[in-house]
Amino acid sequence: MDTDLWPLTALRLRTPRLELRLPSDHDLADLARLAAAGVHDPQVQPFGVAWTDVPPADRARSVLQHHWHTLAAWTPEHWGLQLVVVHDGVVVGTQGMSAHDFGVLREVGTGSWLGQAYQRRGFGTEMRAAVLQLAFAGLGARSAISTAFIDNAASLAVSRKLGYADDGIERRVRRGQPATARRFRLDRRTWEATPRTPVNIEGLESCLLMFGLTPDGAASE
């Protein structure tokens, strides 16, 4: 895709071990196959939308459809950035960041998953740190939120490690049963005071209008 038509294709976030980028068709196919191979123990459901409770082929197709839908629905007022996470040339998962009315509210939410073979290696913390750097340092966010079910120990641990504070609970339906999710919030002051993973951001300037910002960081009209 020509970057003049879709500037996000030039956006890169690089940490010591990972690269995050908008997926190419090849990356997206690898991500879909990774989802088909398994994301979590089938006895549990860590996601608010149970997209993994389907056969592997359907799970793979849902990854493709979600990515295409997110791109098609993108507006500066309501956007969802879905990046593949690459380690040593291999797609290991995906990290998302979304917002509505970001130019005014300056708040983002995040969500992610890793293939089972790549869990428990610290990638979850590193990839979320990458998009937080994009949010706070690159886009001028004031806060970031994250929500996870109270039995999703891995996600809760990442939030606490990165300095998020408890922000209440939510009651949700999971597999037809009531479940409790915990909400977390990270404000800019805390993010600035917390030790951070080094992150290099490339190709952001040409994308600012897509995020609802002018080149000087103000809200676009």
Residues 55-86: tens digit of each pLDDT: 999 999 999 999 999 999 999 999 999 999 99
Say if 42 falls within a structural domain: yes
Mean pLDDT (whole number) for 163-181: 94
Which residues are CB-contacts of 171 (< 8 A; sequence separation ≥ 6)?
178, 179, 180, 181
Strand partners, 98: 80, 109
Q: What are phi and psi of 31, to 5 degrees?
A: -65, -40
Q: What is the pLDDT of residue 33?
A: 97
Count other C-beta atoms under 10 Å from residue 42's C-beta.
9
Q: Is residue 219 a part of any domain in this protein? A: no
Tell me how far apart the alpha carbons of residues 95 and 3 are, in angstroms, rounded to a whole number. 21
CA nearest neighbour of 83 among 59, 112, 106: 112
Residue 39 within a domain: yes
Rounded to an integer, the average pLDDT of 149-171 is 94
Provide mean pLDDT across the span 119-142.
97
Report the CATH number at residue 195. Answer: 3.40.630.30
Domain that holds residue 161: 9-208
Q: What is the pTM of this model?
A: 0.94
Q: Is the pLDDT of residue 163 over 90?
A: yes
List of E strands, the chain: 12-14, 19-21, 78-87, 90-100, 107-114, 143-149, 165-174, 177-187, 200-202
The per-residue pLDDT for 219 is: 64
Instruction: State mean pLDDT over 124-152.
Output: 96
Q: What is the pLDDT of residue 72?
A: 96
d(CA 142, CA 108): 9
Whether 50 is covered by a domain: the verdict is: yes
Question: What tens digit of pLDDT does each residue of 9-53 get?
Answer: 999 999 999 999 999 999 999 999 999 998 888 888 888 888 788
**C-beta separation of 46 from 152 below 8 A:** yes
80 part of a folded domain: yes
Is residue 221's pLDDT more than 60?
Answer: no
| Within a domain: 1 | no
> Residue 189 — very low, low, confident or very high, per pLDDT cuts 50/70/90?
very high
Q: What pLDDT, on a 0 to 100 scale, did the predictor assign at position 218?
A: 62
Let me know if residue 3 belongs to a domain: no
Contact 97, 110 (CB under 8 A): yes
What's the gap between Cα 25 and its chain centre?
Answer: 19
More confident residue, 2 or 220: 2
Quick one: pLDDT at residue 1? Answer: 61
Residue 156 within any structural domain of the chain: yes
* Total count of domains within the chain: 1
